[in-house]
Amino acid sequence: MRYVQVVVRKKLAVAACCLLVLSGCARSVEGKAVVEDPWHGQGQSSSATPSTTEAVTPAEFDPCDFDEITLTVAVGVDPETVVPMSGGCVWTGEDVAFTATIKAGLPLDSIEGTSGVTDLTYFDVGTRRVQIFAYKGDSCVAVVDIDGRALQFVMMEKDFNSFCIRLSVAARMLVEDI
């Protein structure tokens, strides 16, 4: 008889636990459900739809794919002269050659101490910082971080100007389009 009482008590205890759990789940809670957005680290309403605007990712960025009008007017090259090269492209114009390449591992924070760099300046285009400088007295270089890689523009002009004004204008317009 004692055995039956122990079994019945265990069954009643299990049933009571189940009732407590089920009654706790049956309660409604006020509020709005949110899901974690791991990219931005904040809650997002579960009814919200993801943004359809897609940002350029490193794998999608092509340093040879710039607007032809910008290449013609701002850079001064003929878009038809494009020649692919390792990591980018080169274009030529009447008195200018221009390259755009993208590379990983360029130390953008130590350009100032690099041999041959003079007249280093910078400007911001949106959230991106563009560093521009004369290199070895015969070319102008602009570099900007694109998703952890360095986009580098090099302009060599027949009439070299160490202020690199032409490249400054071109780089600003090209980076705005990224």
Domain residue ranges in the chain: 68-176
> How far apart, in whole angstroms, are the C-alpha atoms of residue 71 and residue 133?
20
Element (H or E) spanning 100, and its range?
strand 96-103
In order of 84, 86, 95, 118, 138, the CA distances from 161 in angstroms are 26, 27, 13, 12, 8
Domain 68-176 listed as CATH 3.40.50: no
Rounded to an integer, the average pLDDT of 42-66 is 56
Does this model's pTM top 0.75? My answer is no
> How far apart, in whole angstroms, are the C-alpha atoms of residue 134 and residue 155?
10
pLDDT digits (tens, 9 = 90+) for 86-138: 999 999 999 999 999 998 877 787 888 888 999 999 999 999 999 999 999 89
The CA R_g of the chain, rounded to the nearest whole Å, is 31
How many helices and strands in the chain, by DSSP H and E? Answer: 3, 9
